[in-house]
Copies of this chain bind each other. A is one copy, B any other.
Amino acid sequence: MQGPTGTTDVMKALTLARGGVRDMVSDDSDTTIHAPPRRLTIEHVAAEAGVSVATVSRALRGLPNVTPSTRERVRAVADRLNYHPDPAATRLAAGRTGTVTLAIPSLFGWYFSTVIAGAEAVCADAGLEFQVIAVSTPTHRDRLLDESRRLERRTDALILVDVTIEPEQVASLERRGVGLATIGSNVVGHPSVCIDDELVGQIAAEHLLALGHRRIGVIGGRPEGPMSFDVPEARWRGFSRELAAADVAVDHECNVNGNFSLDGGYEAMTQLLRAPSRPTAVFAMSDEMAFGALMACNEHSLRVGTDISLIGVDDHEFSRVVDLTTVRQPVADHGSVVARLLVAALRKSARHAGDPGEPVVGASDEHDEPVRPAVSLVERSSTGSISCT
C-alpha cells in the first residue's frame, strides 16, 4: 500500500531535511539559505519530537492513550515551535468547527452590543471563535436557519438573540448536531435566558399606580425584523392586567408603537402628548424609547417627574444620566449566561461524540426551564406623584 502516497512522503521528508524545523521558530528566518517550509505542520512537530503524527495529535489534545513523559516531550516541542493546529484541517478531519455564531437583529444599540460583549468574552475564554451575524429581516433568518446543512459546516452552535425560530428549524439543527441557545425566547431542551416580561409590565404598572396615576400611556410596539415580538406583548399583558386589577381603564389606544428605537419613542410620545386627554404618566417598554420620549417632553416644555412621569425598561447605562426611572434587567449577564450554558453543553456532547444513535448535540432535559434573571424597579426622578395641574 505504498501506492501514490509514496512520492508525497518523499517530498515531505525532503522538505523537513532541507530547512529543518528550527528555521520556523522565529519570524525572521530570511537569513537561511534554503527557504524554510512556509507552514508549520504537525509533521514537523512529530519529527522533532521523534514520534508519529498520531501521537502528537493525541498528546496535544489531552487524549488518554499517551504516556505522560511522551506527552510532555511533545508539548514542549510544540511550545518551542509555537505550533498551532490549522483550524481548517481540524474542522475538515474532525467535523467540529470550534466556532460559535451569534445571530441578532442588529449590532447597533446598547442592549444588543451588551449581549454580544458578554457572549464574546465567554467564548474567547473557552477558546472558541466567535462570529456575529446580523439578521435584520425574517428572510435573513430563514436563509440562515433553513440552510442548516450549510450552517453545520460553519459553526458548532448558534446563539439566537431575540430571533424567533420554528420547531422544524430547531429539529433540523438538532439533527445536524448544531448546538442552540436563545436569549429573549425559550426553546425547550436548549439553554435559554429570558426575563419575565409580564412581571416587567406589572412592576411598571404597580409603580405608576402607587404614585396615583390613572391616565397612563404606553410606548411599546413591535420592533422591526424577526425579533420575538411576544416581548412587547407580554409586557403589555402584565401591565394591563395590573391596571385592570386596580380598576383603571385600559385601552389599546393608549399603546403606541415606538419601534424600540430612540426616534420611535420620540414620535410615540409626541403622539401621546397630542391626545385630547393627555396621560399623566407613560410606560416606555425600553429605555431607549424613553429617551426619545424625554426629548418630546423637553420640546413641549414639560418637566419630567413633575408635569409628567416616565418609566422605562432596561436600566440602560445612560438612564442614570437623565435620571430615568426604569425596570432593570441585568442585560450584561444575558450574553455571558447563555454562552456559559452553551459551552457546557458543547463540552458534554463532545465527550459523548461517537455515541451512536443520538445526535451529537440535541435537546437536553436539563434545559426545560429557561434561566430567568431577576428584574427590579430602579426609582429615579423621572416618576413622581401625580400633580394637580
Q: Measuring CB to CB, which residues of chain A are less than 8 angstroms from any residue of chain B?
A: 1-5, 27, 40, 82, 84, 86-89, 91-92, 97, 106-110, 112-114, 116-117, 120-121, 124, 129-134, 147-150, 153-154, 168, 172, 175, 262, 291-292, 294-295, 298, 317-318, 320-323
Contact = CB atoms under 8 A, between A and B. Distances in A.
Contacts of A294: 321
B124 A117 contact: no
B129 A154 contact: yes
A86 B94 CA distance: 13
Contact of A117 (B108, B117, B175): B108
A130 B133 contact: yes
Contacts of A120: 107, 132-134
Contacts of A320: 295
9 contacts: A1-B3, A2-B3, A27-B168, A88-B97, A92-B92, A107-B113, A121-B134, A124-B134, A130-B133
A154 B88 CA distance: 8
Given A3-B5, A4-B1, A317-B262, A108 B114 contact: yes
Given A3-B3, A262-B317, 16 more contacts: A3-B5, A4-B4, A27-B149, A27-B175, A82-B147, A82-B149, A84-B153, A88-B92, A89-B92, A113-B116, A116-B132, A120-B132, A124-B134, A132-B132, A262-B321, A318-B321
A87 B154 contact: yes
Given A117-B106, A117-B108, A153 B318 contact: no
Contacts of A262: 317-318, 321
A149 B3 CA distance: 33
A176 to B, nearest CB: 9
A84 B5 contact: no
